[in-house]
Copies of this chain bind each other. A is one copy, B any other.
Amino acid sequence: MQKIGIIGGGIRGHMYAKSLQHFPGADVRAVSDLSQATAEKTADAFGLAAYTDHRHMLQEVDLDAVIVATPDFAHRDPAVDAAERGLHLLIEKPLATTAEDAAAIEAAVRKAGVECMVGFENRWNPAVRRIREVAAAGELGQVLTQNILLSNTWYVPTEMLSWAARSSPAWFLMSHTVDVATWVNGRTVASVDARGSRGQLAARGVDTWDVVHALLTFDDGTTANLTSTWVLPDSMPSLVDFQLQAVGDRSAVQVDLHEQSVRHAAPDGLRFPGLLGDEIDGRLQGPPTWMVQHFVSCLNEGRPVGPGLRAGRAVTDVVLAVHESLATGGTVRPGTHAA
């Protein structure tokens, strides 16, 4: 039985608490959030202790593991503090948004000898898993190219996330697709060329990139093409557009997660509801839920968790390279930027 604390009580922290609510082997005890209202809302929903300072939570509550569900750029302190107390970690993707933060978390984890998992939830997405299985079974052959699009409507950066200006489509979205691309082809990113534009979101008060395109070159010389934007019209039938094509020398796969088998011509327009993530008989089912349950099961059974620090650092390095290439116009090797 894992005694669990959650740091960050917003949308994701709430979802993790709900995902573990009826899950055997998990005992979620406390939640902390800088906003007292947010902390209390999630605490009240699941009968948890509420904190506004995660250090107080770590001090006062008897815990085995911590879920770090703070904004992209705010993973370091909670993760390091928890590791130093010997607690296992599930950290939301991306692991960190600076090389320094990533290094600090890694150092703390290694020193403490705790388990650390990074929340690349698409590894529990049935469509992505299916591609990975096809690839891992050798049915794709060598992966020659991938095109992956993961974008959001304006709603996400301008209404859903209060901290979008401190993130970007690359941090928030491409951290998923970089992990997917390398999980599918089993390669390492050798270099990155990125281009994009900004100005539209800035004009609405969110000063970050509107559009990011990245060309990845892998260590076997093959390439992939990643796109993430935050400027899809709000009239899109889903707030997430996720398209993937992977072409191997033996076969090819294509995934469309924008439209997930259901269309609803609602009075106010067509909607494509997501199929996973809803409650079924009062229990959430879906990728992040199965991911956090996997984390708990591994801890209970003494199995190593994963994806871990290596995947987390690799993705952070690539997304840092994307931003550096966006800024300089040059080709960037991940992990070689000044840290």
Chain A residues within CB distance 8 Å of chain B: 24, 124, 126-127, 129-131, 134, 139, 144-145, 147, 149, 151, 193-197, 199-200, 210-211, 213, 215, 217, 221-225, 227, 229, 231-233, 235-237, 245, 247, 249-257, 259-270, 273, 275-276, 278, 280-281, 285, 290, 294, 297, 329, 331
A265 vs B247: C-alpha distance in the bound complex, in angstroms? 9
| Measured CA separation A257–B236 after assembly (Å) | 20
Copy tally for this chain in the complex stands at 4
Please indicate the chain B residues that have their CB under 8 angstroms from the CB of A130 in the complex: 262, 264, 273, 275, 278
Q: What are the residues of chain B within 8 A of A280 when measuring CB–CB?
A: 124, 126, 129, 290
Return 11 A-B CB contacts under 8 Å, by A number. A126-B276, A127-B260, A127-B261, A194-B215, A213-B215, A225-B227, A235-B268, A235-B269, A254-B263, A260-B261, A261-B261
Closest 5 CB pairs of A and B: A269-B269, A126-B275, A145-B211, A270-B270, A24-B24
Q: Is the CB of A252 within 8 A of B265?
A: yes
A232 to B265, CA, bound (A): 9
Partner of A252, one of B124, B233, B257: B233
